[in-house]
Amino acid sequence: MEQNLDAQQIVSKAAEIMFAQTDRYTPVLQAIQSAIGITVDGDLLVIGFEPKDNQLAGHLTASINRNLIAQAIQEAAGRQLNFRVIEGTTLDDWTRIKQAEERLRQRAEKRAEAAPPDQALEKILEEMAKEKEAAPAEVVAPEKIEEYAAQAQELLTKTGEIMLGQSDRFSPALQAWAAATGIMIDGDTLVVGFATASHHLAGHLETPANRNLVLKSLEEAADRKMDFRVIEGTTWRDWQRVKVMEAQLREEVLADAEKRVTAEAAEQVWDRLAERMHHAHQQLRHRQFPQARVQYLLEVLPWLLEAEEQAKSTPGSTPEGIERALARAIDRLATLSELNPTHVALELLRLRERPGKSGGQ
């Protein structure tokens, strides 16, 4: 991954370029000015938003704005760059997303290789469901799928009629809704999809203003509060594929987050030891005398054994990690005691092997 430290400068300069091209403060300008440049990964500019600004992201991904933003970014960077908007504001957020997506892609491809083309999806669904200890992928009769689609299409059509009655022109949002296909009503969510050729229209439905229009019209059409979801694809199978992939991606991201938390917990054991060592050294009287430094060494050595035992019982610790952290602690103690690290390690080994050794020494 190529990390470009000027990612934020590119975003800021692109905002200035866009601002100079208009005579009013539009939602897309507000979005690009609130965006955070995370990194330039090859030919991709990665952009994120603070949680309080997440609702602005749709303005950047809407197809009607995408070309304008891409041109401004190209001019700002001085070269051709694509851009992607993610949830997050740091390079770690982007790294986790890339790693999770890559693992998910490799896993799906590997599982699909062994199955006949017409059974690949079913095989993936079944295996992923087993891994999650969940119920197997739902098996739905073709006539039931057709019923789902008919219900969804009827609601989609009725919603479109209400939207049209609230507008005096055939807006991009109406054009996008008319091109969408009703797939199914999943709980309180109307799932609509686009064929690949018309998927570029989907962004019109995700801008805040258009989304509110659709939600109000949908609620009136259904006579209850509902949400809607836009996917690429037009069939029930496409929707099942999206749900499985998203569930798997969430699990990957959560697993990465859990590993990070446990690793930090393991590191805190050694951080506390370092603070304790430095505090004791600062309180040491007559540290210029060798006998004082030896007394400090004898006082601190049991602390290293205590930290080692704590680390062994801390989730996220590994034998290799404990050995490395213990070696760093020995080096730190040797520096503070003005001794050779090997000598300190030898004294620690003697203390560990001493009968009835105690961390409270």
Q: Check residues 267 and 69 and name the one with the higher pLDDT.
A: 69
d(CA 354, CA 343): 17
- Angle at CA 100, nearest 5°, toward 96 and 102? 120
Residue corresponding to tokens 């892609």: 105
Domains and CATH numbers, the chain: 7-89 (3.30.300.180), 140-234 (3.30.300.180), 262-353 (no CATH)
pLDDT digits (tens, 9 = 90+) for 98-157: 877 777 666 656 655 655 554 454 555 555 544 443 333 444 566 778 888 899 999 999
Neighbours of 200 (CB within 10 A): 14
Token pair in block for residue 340: 């050779």
Token pair in block for residue 31: 């979005």
Neighbours of 132 (CB within 10 A): 12
Q: Are 351 and 301 in contact (CB under 8 A)?
A: yes
What's the average model confidence in pLDDT over 83-89? Answer: 84
Q: Where are the alpha helices (DSSP H) in 114-226?
A: 120-131, 142-165, 172-179, 208-222
Count how many Cα atoms sit within 13 Å of the Cα of residue 120 in the half-sphere of its side chain.
13
Q: Give pLDDT, residue 359.
A: 45
Check pLDDT > 60 for residue 310: yes
Q: Give pLDDT, residue 82.
A: 87
d(CA 308, CA 132): 35
pLDDT digits (tens, 9 = 90+) for 183-222: 999 889 999 999 888 888 888 888 888 899 999 999 999 9
Q: Are 217 and 167 in contact (CB under 8 A)?
A: no
Pick from 159, 203, 198, 164: nearest CA to 180:
198
Report residue 192: phi and psi, to 5°.
Answer: -120, 150
Sheet containing 36-41: which strands, arranged edge to edge? 36-41, 44-49, 82-87
Q: Check residues 190 and 168 and name the one with the higher pLDDT.
A: 190
CA 81 to chain centre: 22
